């Protein structure tokens, strides 16, 4: 067998060289793959930060919504506010004008009018957002909530802001709510309510239409502002959603003091995300 000057056999030397080449190539590939993962992670972090920043900007713009006495069904005002903070395409919806089974008292929910409405509309009748209104919450619900939080004062979780925005109530839903609240000729008046609603509509006008005082319990349900808004948008890299809640003044619980972010979700289009 031939040997080189250093005493190694030629096949052995070539094997060593080949092994070193493979190790070097594998290491290079590993470094390259690691670099790609790091770069991808950095892009994901930047995308999430961008979406998070947009949500914060939307929350800041939402505060201007306090100045408007009505949130009309075309949502033009809130769309304009969101659009000034988000350069991407987005959607906005009223997330609280509907039946929330977790917070709505059984007496109201089990009324004939509401049972008929929920049966005919199925899942479209329900929503997952809403404040607990003491006028329509079960006493045991209030007690258990107080026990869970370890305090009697549950504001703002429990407050008097009306649960439903009249502008966004479908006529059949409005009829069922009015009937469950004891308003006479509920079907006729729900239709007239939908016809008369405008940016200048007041609770006083609705009370005259319903034939009751402004202090009637129906106005713990039917108001002119949306309690919870959901905003969805997509950036180049992320899908995001945010829910903002209207918090009333503690000493005037039918007027909005501020809007607060109560939920957000940011998910990378390649998978993964946080809420």
Q: What is the pLDDT of residues 138-170, one digit of tens each?
A: 999 899 999 999 988 999 999 999 999 999 999
Residues 169-211: tens digit of each pLDDT: 999 999 999 999 999 999 999 999 999 999 999 999 999 999 9
Residues 4-13: tens digit of each pLDDT: 555 445 666 6
Residues 8-30: tens digit of each pLDDT: 456 666 665 656 565 666 656 65
* CA separation, residue 245 to residues 197, 228, 254, 260 (Å): 23, 4, 14, 5
Cα–Cα distance, 158 to 155 (Å, whole number) = 5
At residue 45, the pLDDT reads 82
CB 95 within 8 A of CB 243: yes
- Of the chain, the end-to-end C-alpha distance in Å amounts to 69
- Which pTM was predicted? 0.84
Which carries the bigger pLDDT value, residue 31 or residue 129? Answer: 129
CB 233 within 8 A of CB 42: no
At residue 271, the pLDDT reads 64
């Amino acid at each position: 067998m031939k040997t080189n000057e250093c005493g190694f056999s030629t096949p052995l030397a070539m094997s060593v060289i080949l092994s070193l080449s493979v190790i070097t190539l594998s290491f290079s590939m590993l470094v390259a793959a690691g670099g790609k993962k790091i770069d991808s992670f950095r892009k994901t972090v930047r995308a999430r930060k961008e979406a998070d920043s947009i949500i914060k900007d939307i929350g800041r713009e939402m505060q201007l919504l306090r100045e408007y006495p009505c949130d009309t069904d075309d949502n033009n005002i809130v769309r304009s506010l969101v659009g000034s903070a988000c350069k991407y395409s987005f959607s906005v919806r009223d997330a609280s004008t509907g039946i929330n089974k977790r917070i709505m008292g059984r007496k109201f929910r089990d009324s004939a009018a509401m049972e008929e409405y929920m049966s005919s509309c199925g899942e479209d009748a329900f929503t997952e957002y809403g404040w607990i209104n003491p006028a329509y919450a079960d006493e045991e619900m209030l007690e258990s909530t107080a026990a869970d939080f370890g305090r009697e004062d549950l504001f703002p979780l429990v407050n008097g802001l009306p649960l439903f925005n009249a502008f966004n109530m479908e006529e059949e839903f409005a009829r069922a709510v009015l009937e469950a609240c004891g308003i006479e000729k509920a079907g006729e008046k729900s239709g007239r309510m939908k016809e008369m609603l405008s940016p200048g509509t007041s609770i006083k006008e609705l009370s005259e239409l319903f034939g009751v005082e402004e202090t009637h319990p129906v106005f713990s349900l039917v108001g002119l502002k949306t309690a919870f808004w959901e905003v969805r948008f997509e950036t180049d890299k992320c899908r995001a959603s945010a829910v903002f809640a209207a918090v009333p003044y503690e000493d005037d619980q039918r007027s909005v003091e501020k809007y607060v972010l109560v939920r957000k979700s940011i998910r990378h289009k390649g998978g993964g995300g946080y809420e």
